[in-house]
């Protein structure tokens, strides 16, 4: 049982790291456990207790490859990956946090149970991301895509997340298949988004083009 400020654990420039079956308490508002510049990382079956009401990250990872984050329970905080490649985030329970991917490639987010304070799963500047069979409950804008390419969203459930659980900006080639949108729909679900074209930086001029994606056959039950 550990208590420390800023980082409880910080691992940099390592290979073949496994952190499993730990019970951890973090008391600050930043990150509990962080991996950087590492390869073949396994973070599995850990329980993270956050004592701070506004904890940012429970687990963070940056500039790393071949990452497996599975079957963890985060009572507070989020899972955040930045500039990572070939990662799997599967079977985690987040009781008051989100999953965020920034500038990542080839990431699978599967079978997670997410109860966020805000958001749910948010992606920015990612390529080849799969979100499959995640459940997001009570999340404002449960899924958000910004600047993403080739995103596959399959069989996810958005429960009590409002009329527009998902949105996207400057994201192309997204596929929405058989997701649950908070109620039993007998028709396709339209997902609204935009594409912004910068005309000039000074003075700032941007043309915003409305776009839509469609989940043709939403599932009827979560």
Please write the tens of the pLDDT for every residue from 30-45. Answer: 567 889 999 999 999 9
**Structure tokens belonging to residue 97:** 């946090």
Q: Is the pLDDT of residue 221 over 80?
A: yes
Say what percent of the chain tops pLDDT 70: 91
CA distance linking residue 181 with residue 107, whole number of Å: 23
Average pLDDT score, the chain = 90
Query: What pLDDT, in 10s, does the model give residues 136-173?
Result: 998 778 999 999 999 999 999 999 998 899 999 999 99
Tokens of 202: 């000074």
Tokens of 159: 């429960």
Say if residue 10's pLDDT is above 70.
Answer: yes
pLDDT at 116: 86
Q: Is the peptide bond before 148 cis (omega within 30 degrees of 0)?
A: no
What is the model's pLDDT at position 7?
62
Q: What distance in Å separates the CA atoms of residue 53 and residue 5, rounded to the nearest whole number?
A: 15
Torsion from C-alpha of 139, 120, 214, 194, nearest 10 degrees: 100
Q: Burial letters for 103-138: b for 16+ Cβ neighbours within 10 Å, e otherwise?
A: bbbbbebbebebbbeebbbbbbbbbbbbbbebbbbb
Q: What is the pTM of this model?
A: 0.92
Q: How confident is the model at residue 51 (pLDDT cuts 50, 70, 90)?
A: low
């Amino acid at each position: 049982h550990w208590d420390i400020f800023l980082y409880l654990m910080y691992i940099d420039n390592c290979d073949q790291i496994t952190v499993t079956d730990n019970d951890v308490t973090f008391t600050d508002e930043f990150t509990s456990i962080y991996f950087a510049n590492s390869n073949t990382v396994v973070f599995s079956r850990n329980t993270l207790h956050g004592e701070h009401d506004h904890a940012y990250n429970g687990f963070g990872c940056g500039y790393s490859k071949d990452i497996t984050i599975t079957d963890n329970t985060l009572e507070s905080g989020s899972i955040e990956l930045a500039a990572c490649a070939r990662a799997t985030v599967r079977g985690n329970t987040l009781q008051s946090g989100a999953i965020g991917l920034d500038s990542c490639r080839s990431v699978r987010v599967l079978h997670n149970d997410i109860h966020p304070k805000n958001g749910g799963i948010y992606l920015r500047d990612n390529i080849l991301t799969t979100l499959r069979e995640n459940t997001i409950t009570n999340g404002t804008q449960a899924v958000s895509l910004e600047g993403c390419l080739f995103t596959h969203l399959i069989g996810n459930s958005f429960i009590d997340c409002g009329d527009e659980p998902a949105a996207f900006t400057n994201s192309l080639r997204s596929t929405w298949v058989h997701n649950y949108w908070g109620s039993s729909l007998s028709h396709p679900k339209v997902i609204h988004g935009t594409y912004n074209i910068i005309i000039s930086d000074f003075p700032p001029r941007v043309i915003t083009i409305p776009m839509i994606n469609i989940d043709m056959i939403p599932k009827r039950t979560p």
